[in-house]
Structure 1
Amino acid sequence: MLPESLPEIPQRSLTSQGVLYRPLQEIEVFVEDEGSEVFYEELIYRLLDKKHRIVKVFPLRGRLNVISECQNYCDKHPALFIIDGDLSWVAGEPQPNIDRLSVNQCYCIENYLICENAAVEIAFENCGKDSREDIKGKLKWSDTRKAIESPLVELFCEFAIAHKLVPTLKTTSYGFDSVCTQHKKRALPQFDSKKSALLADTIRKAVIAESGATTYQTLRDHVYARISAIQDPLDVVSGKDFLIPLLMFCIKQVVNSNLTRDSFVLRLAKHCSLEKLRGLNSALVREITRYHDAQPVS
């Protein structure tokens, strides 16, 4: 009789999984979250453009585990450990400077997937009767971006300040539902800028009460100066918990079809622009090249 599920791999053994796949790929890639490895594999496959082999990505169950395993990694085989920027990146805190560690220059890897062309392609595939241009006109992603950018950036600015000054304060765990309104019972939720502003104000007042107005304002000025220098301000907003659900709702308003989150994220990874991923591509190629350069000439 087969067991109901396979036993969970112990934490201490997660990094060693890569050894089994060495005959099949040129580099071992370790990431934070279980469930993210499939779309990571798709992104990296596209990034390497078949020039280097990659078949499996390994999740290490959390940011701190990735950092710890990277610090302890002493094998000569090519490996890259990838972590998200998170609120510490938004706040401009120094990022870990460890060999083989790559920090996504955005809130999380899902931010790289937010792409109008990818959204149009997915809607086009699901529709089957409207042209891409018609779908793009219906999607109106540019208008949606303009409507959400300022309130969501404001909210994540407050989240980042709270993360640094009052770490125990609830922030991103509020989730996307906290800034949405469902006008009718079966209608899709809509982003509500008033709810977003109210939540930002609630966080702001709690931080000021705990740390003082002067300390709060000094850090706020620093965070906003940092955000103003970022090419895409929405990169400071959680792609995973806020932007992905929002983009799904936008598509569902255009195409009446069932989209599962996992399928949607994978399809975004297949179609999204790779422009923002140049840094990750460079890190992968650099690690592979360094290994090959170190091999003795036969």
Structure 2
Amino acid sequence: MLKFSNESRKISSSFKAYRNDVSIFTEDEEKDKEFYTLLLKRVLGDSVKINDITPLGCKQNVLKYCFESSVSKKEVYIIDGDIQTIKGDHSVSHPKLFILDRYCIENYLMDENSVIKYIYNHTGTYSEEKIKEDLNFEEWLLQFSEPFTKLFIHFAISDHFHIGYTLFNARKYFNVKKDSISFDSALVDQDIEIIKNIIIENHGIDAYTDIVDFFENKWQPNIETLLKIVSGKNYLIPLLQIKANEFKKNKNIETLESCKICLVQNFDVINLDNLKTFIEKIA
């Protein structure tokens, strides 16, 4: 199979453009194009004609092509909020650049309706009413709010002090036994403690305490915060996959891509109204 560079994909998108079309450029890979196609169709409806959607890989690629873009072309470049969502220090701006106000695009997919629909389609044996009753959406997510909010605050603090950190997968924090899987917040606390000790060792207890207090006052541990600052791709969707398997009583985990395709068809698009408005202005 032929593989094309980011440059050739961008040129191809330009050739397809008509005068009133908008070309969209995103992070992620070519395999994610169908996801973005479905998402933008739902967000925009018939208000804008999209010429093409081109995934450019990492954020740095998207920014590079955005700042090299011709002023006359109708293009929108979309990047994730990432850790800067927590820190509130996005340092880049451009008339064609849209920065998501949640950690990543996947964060918008998680709401009660989309989650229930996903479990319904994933299991095929329960009614939506039964799933809603057994799931108890807010209670289910609330158990993760405090530990994962604290963890991502510590990722933000690490970034502030230019200390590296690693996004794992929410499954890391579950104990798996023969017939059961259970969340263990102590495992999250262990990772937080590692980050804490590194920061204190390098910058002192006072600097650590001050910045922790600042971020914990800014980001209260609740469901709204969880859905905004904790990575949807690495944490929230894996939590849903685990929960869906509890309903199905199956250990096989569906792929991230297929899960996203299901969620994108049912999530509440109102949370991306600001993206819709931005694209309509470019058009």
- TM > 0.5 fold call: yes
Counterpart of 2:156 in structure 1 is 160
Counterpart of 1:31 in structure 2 is 26
Deviation at 1:140, TM superposition (A): 2.6
Distance 2:147 2:103 in 1: 16
Distance 1:231 1:248 in 2: 18
Counterpart of 1:293 in structure 2 is none
1:227 matched to 2:219? The reply is yes
Q: Which amino acid aligns with 2:114?
A: A
Distance 2:43 2:257 in 1: 20
Deviation at 1:126, TM superposition (A): 3.7
Q: Which amino acid aligns with 2:12?
A: Q
Counterpart of 1:176 in structure 2 is 170
Alpha-carbon displacement from aligned partner over 1:12-38 (angstroms, at most 9, x marks no partner): 333222124324982111111103322
Bigger mean CA deviation after superposition, 158-167 or 54-63? 54-63
1:262 matched to 2:254? The reply is no
Q: Which amino acid aligns with 1:61?
A: G
Distance 2:56 2:261 in 1: 20
Counterpart of 1:43 in structure 2 is 39
Alpha-carbon displacement from aligned partner over 1:235-284 (angstroms, at most 9, x marks no partner): 11011001111111111211356633211111101111112111111111
1:15 and 1:58 in contact (8 A); partners too = yes
1:22 matched to 2:14? The reply is no
Distance 2:48 2:90 in 1: 32
Q: TM-score, normalised by structure 2?
A: 0.90
Deviation at 1:224, TM superposition (A): 2.5
Distance 1:130 1:175 in 2: 28
Against the structure 1 CA distance between its residues 214 and 143, is the aligned structure 2 distance closer, same or farther, given a 3 Å change threshold?
A: same
Bigger mean CA deviation after superposition, 216-225 or 81-90? 216-225
Identity score, percent: 25
Distance 1:12 1:156 in 2: 34
Tell me the matched-pair count: 279
Against the structure 1 CA distance between its residues 48 and 230, is the aligned structure 2 distance closer, same or farther, given a 3 Å change threshold?
A: farther
Distance 1:263 1:201 in 2: 35
1:90 to 71, 86, 105: 86
Counterpart of 1:195 in structure 2 is 187
Counterpart of 1:291 in structure 2 is none
Q: TM-score, normalised by structure 1?
A: 0.86
Instruction: Report the aligned-residue RMSD.
Output: 2.3
Distance 1:230 1:20 in 2: 46
Distance 1:215 1:36 in 2: 41
1:247 matched to 2:240? The reply is yes
Deviation at 1:136, TM superposition (A): 1.1
- Structure 2: runs of 5+ lacking an equivalent: none
2:81 and 2:100 in contact (8 A); partners too = yes
- SS for the counterpart of 2:83 is helix
Bigger mean CA deviation after superposition, 116-125 or 270-279? 116-125
Bigger mean CA deviation after superposition, 143-152 or 34-43? 34-43
- SS for the counterpart of 1:14 is helix
1:9 matched to 2:1? The reply is no
